[in-house]
Amino acid sequence: MNDSSATATTRRAHVTGWGRYAPSQVLTNADLEKMVDTSDEWILSRTGIRERRVAAAHETTASMGAVAGLRAIRTAGIEPDDIDLILLATLTPDYWMPSTAALVKEAIGNTKATAFDVMAACSGFVYGFATAQAYIQAGLAKHVLVIGAELLTRFLDYTDRSTCILFGDGAGAVVLSASDEPGGALGIELTTEPQGAYMIWLPAGGSKAPPSAGTIARGEHFVRMEGKETYRFATKTMATTALESIRRSGLQPSDIDLFVPHQANVRIIEAVAKGLDLPMDKMFVNLDKYGNTSAASVPIALAEAVNEGRVKVGDNVTIVAFGAGFTSGAVTIEWTADPARGIAGDAAVRPEDVSVRLPVDWNSVDPIPEALAEVMRRPGSIDVPDDVAPGEPERVRREVHA
């Protein structure tokens, strides 16, 4: 690990920066009606999802993560080279190697950080958060950039309505900074229950089933999910994991001002609220706009909640997620940063100013699945600006091209 001014006596990890990025292209339920046997009413009633974002052909997990990461850095009021460690949670890396975190390091203009990926599926951001806190508590880092980024729409079977309706693309990030002041991360709980390992999985592409003409023909490079079993696990485990995190913080559920759960399904979130005996207005929900963005869902939701004024200094916030593995994780945080910094931090970074260096000639590759490309070319698909509040300070151009 690189040398840092943090010391072993610095024990608390405070959230000092946050940022998010959502691709401009929107895939609505009406669009999906043209692709698969489904309807807006069917999707909305079962999931709460109205639309999701789709990355453009030139966008990657790394490029989206870099935008969100730079926005978090700007919100924190530091420079990219102040970051000692970059952790990127994803199940959709740009490549099997190098790590996507390494690509992000170069893209944001950092020269000194250690960088590596975290893979715990939809729980990945929370696992990364816990890892960052451990580095800070050990005195190994002063500022840690934790990113959740996913490009799931390229790993979906658009004939399978049980999965293709659920997922979207995007990225979110936080900066955790060492502090000897009270607050910050208070209690963490992580779990893994491998009896559910094959309830959500991507069968081929690893060493057990390397890519081949056969695996491609059989559709084994698409996400597969057993919905009922996953629902049962999620509703039980998210509540118990959140409760343990809150208990470790010395608090009760009633002490929590806002819960930011993994945005998988509104029915799951409602069940978790019921399990914690809390009203839904304490649960932040934005899956109607983004769908399930896996490891990106919690940091996107957290950044949006803060920027919308749902969090103030001194509030207790619990983030909680579940994912393939089965995994789950929760962190309870005492918020210490000025929420007003977030929108200006987002506005300070333009996506078009961030690029990830590619191998020679790879710019010509069109990675968009043909079924998805066809429907997105049809009239009526919505293309909206990047999700930054209007009327805020003009974006500051920053050249970060490799």
List the catalytic residues: 122, 262, 292
Angle at 287 between CA 282 and CA 104, to 5 degrees: 110
In the sheet that holds 51-54, the strands lie side by side as 51-54, 25-28, 382-383
Amino acid at 306: V
Element (H, E) at 225: strand 224-225
What residues have CB less than 8 Å from 109, skipping those under 6 apart?
A: 80, 81, 400
Distance of CA 321 to the CA centre of its chain: 10
Within 180-223, strands assigned E span 184-192, 200-201
Alpha helices for 259-351 (secondary structure H) = 266-275, 287-290, 297-307, 341-347
Asked if 171 contacts 304 with a C-beta cutoff of 8 angstroms, the reply is: no
Identify the DSSP state of 50.
Answer: -
Cis upstream peptide for 326 (omega within 30°)? yes
In Å, how far are 190, 277, 280 from 274, measured between CA atoms? Answer: 21, 5, 8
What single-letter amino acid sits at 305? A
Peptide bond before residue 98 is cis, with ω within 30 degrees of 0: yes
CB 294 within 8 A of CB 91: yes
CA 24 to chain centre: 17
Computed on alpha carbons and rounded to an integer, the radius of gyration of the chain in Å comes to 20
**Contacts of 223 by beta carbon, 8 Å cutoff, 6+ apart:** 152, 155, 156, 157, 163, 167, 200, 201, 202
Q: What are phi and psi of 259, to 5 degrees?
A: -100, 135
DSSP for 253-269 reads GGG-SEEEE--S-HHHH
